Amino acid sequence: MHTWPSLRRPHRTGRTRSGTRTRTRSRATARVTGVLIAAAALLVSACSAGSSTTTSTGAAEAALAALPRATPSALAPYYSQHLRWRACGVPGFQCATMKAPLDYAEPGAGDIKLAVARKNATGKDKLGSLLVNPGGPGGSAIGYLEQYAGIGYPAEVRAAYDMVAMDPRGVARSEPVECLDGRRMDAFTQTDMTPDDQQEVNALVGQYRKFAESCGARSARLLRHVSTVEAARDMDILRAVLGDPKLNYVGASYGTFLGATYAGLFPDRVGRLVLDGAIDPSLDSRRVNLDQTAGFETAFQAFAKDCVHRSDCPLGGKGTAPAQVGDHLKAFFRKLDAHPVPAGNPGGRKLGESLATTGVIAAMYDQAAWEQLRQALTSAMRENDGAGLLALSDSYYERDPKGQYTNLMMANAAVNCLDLPAAFTGPEQVEKALPTFEKTSPVFGAGLAWASLNCAYWPVKATGEPHRIEAKGAAPIVVVGTTRDPATPYRWARSLAGQLSSARLLTYVGDGHTAYGRGSSCIDSAINAYLLDGTPPPPGKRCS
């Protein structure tokens, strides 16, 4: 599926990695398929099933089956291993390496090494471990722990729990999937995502093929074994070696799919699970991408309404309708398509349509970035300076000033394309679907439709399908949804809460991707009470 990675970014005051001067926080990674050309990939989570724009046939009836309660003898050595903790990275944190079978169907065929980090509870009355995951797929959970969760979660939560993170298989420090080098990733992210003729279609398809072939050549051992189901099984090994009878967990964006999958496989081992910015596992890839397109359009409409009431809005003044704001932005994108503008960087990269679109989409994840987006658009549209939008795009792709990328986008595609069949099998299908996507979002529809093609050329066949997750018998699970979430639309949270047998839906009426730690005392107090006392929010709880 295509999905935009929507990672939770650290919430803090000061300069963020994207350069924002304001209080920012997680700008999630949803299961977005892809790579904006990579606009492909959010988390959400999924790559996509088939050609239908609705739930795949039979998905409503198919549910993820729980694994046997008894641990298979072949897995006993993994469940009984002892982690060797050592000081590492940020002061106060410890790191270790955990082994898991590369292939759970053949545990004796080889291991995969998974990086784990923790920050011990600051209080005496511990409740155990709290595992965190920021989303993606492809986001570094360890990075999130070090930069935010381990120091920014509420003090009472950090006092009660050992804060723990594990980079999922294929991600960051856990034997990362490798594909393109920095130079080739630059070319990939600059490819025209709204092709105007057959030559540009061929160029886009060629880039998707190069990306897939490179992943297959450089990460052949891993590509068949980075599914969400396997990552969830790794989490159960970690739970056991940490000495916790049940798993306590906070997952954001794609992390909700990972946590829900764990609950479906091990319902009797569910402790206190918070699934924030939920993904609907019952949807096929094309439906996921279309819903996400609608989500970004909703977020853009909110930005547009806010923008026209401000003196520094470059897309229109007071009285300008949101639709006109969108028309102005589309006209700007068309101009960049024909004439990229300088972006003031040492490598000489210019701001073209694809990078500019990514920069705008990056700002949709958090309304705290809207001011930065207005300034960046003003510079690009009025001063012919694309540096601001390029900085937003680079932050989204996790590209550093030296031209090196983390493996976020590579792991994102690897997980998404394994979890679900491709949304489209070729450009002809995309062209037929364009009117639907463009109607859903006049601004972003065409680019997101073409981004949904990324799994079509993947070297490994998908092993997953859309399915419901019921987790019958699990303890209460808190599902959190934000009404104007761009990357994980609110309807996904409602759907997941309806599937999980013990779910309580907690609603945040507002903007941005995910809700916990975003400044709502109502949301935070409800989740804190659940984590500390085990008391889920009452049915129908809404915050604003």
Cα dihedral 280, 286, 290, 296 in deg (nearest 10): 70
Q: Which amino acid is at 451?
A: A
> How deeply is 425 buried, as exposed, middle or buried, from its count of CB atoms within 10 A (0-12, 13-18, 19+)?
middle
Q: Determine which one of 244, 395, 513, 524 is catalytic.
A: 513
Residue (of 522, 376, 368, 296) closest to 10 by Cα position:
368
Residue given tokens 């009472």 in the structure block: 156
- CB 6, CB 43: distance < 8 Å: yes
Determine whether 196 is an active site residue: no
Determine whether 485 is an active site residue: yes
CA distances from 389 to 173, 354, 381 (A): 29, 11, 11
What is the distance between the alpha carbons of residues 40 and 52, in angstroms, rounded to a whole number?
18
Instruction: Work out the number of other CB atoms within 10 angstroms of the CB of residue 263.
Output: 29
Query: What are 270's strand-pairing partners?
Result: 247
Q: What are phi and psi of 509, to 5 degrees?
A: -90, 100
Q: Report DSSP state, residue 30.
A: B
Q: Which amino acid is at 241?
A: V
Residue (of 74, 68, 139) closest to 103 by Cα position:
74
For the record, the structure tokens of 152 come out as: 């920014």
Q: Determine which one of 129, 174, 253, 441 is catalytic.
A: 253
**H helix or E strand, kind and range, residue 428:** helix 427-440
Residue (of 389, 387, 391) closest to 399 by Cα position:
391
Residues 6+ apart with CB under 8 A from 519: 23, 25
For the record, the structure tokens of 477 come out as: 């699970």
> How deeply is 186 buried, as exposed, middle or buried, from its count of CB atoms within 10 A (0-12, 13-18, 19+)?
middle
Asked if residue 154 has a cis previous peptide bond (ω within 30° of 0), the answer is: no
Q: Determine which one of 192, 234, 244, 485 is catalytic.
A: 485
Determine whether 103 is an active site residue: no
Mutual angle of helices 322-338 and 285-307, in 10-degree steps: 110
CA distances from 370 to 13, 134, 195, 313, 385 (A): 16, 22, 28, 10, 18
What is the distance between the alpha carbons of residues 288 and 517, in angstroms, rounded to a whole number?
26
Q: Report DSSP state, residue 32.
A: -
What is the distance between the alpha carbons of residues 75 and 107, in angstroms, rounded to a whole number?
7
- CB 174, CB 113: distance < 8 Å: yes
What is the distance between the alpha carbons of residues 332 and 457, in angstroms, rounded to a whole number?
31
Largest CA-CA distance found in the chain, in angstroms, rounded: 69
Give the catalytic positions in this structure: 253, 485, 513
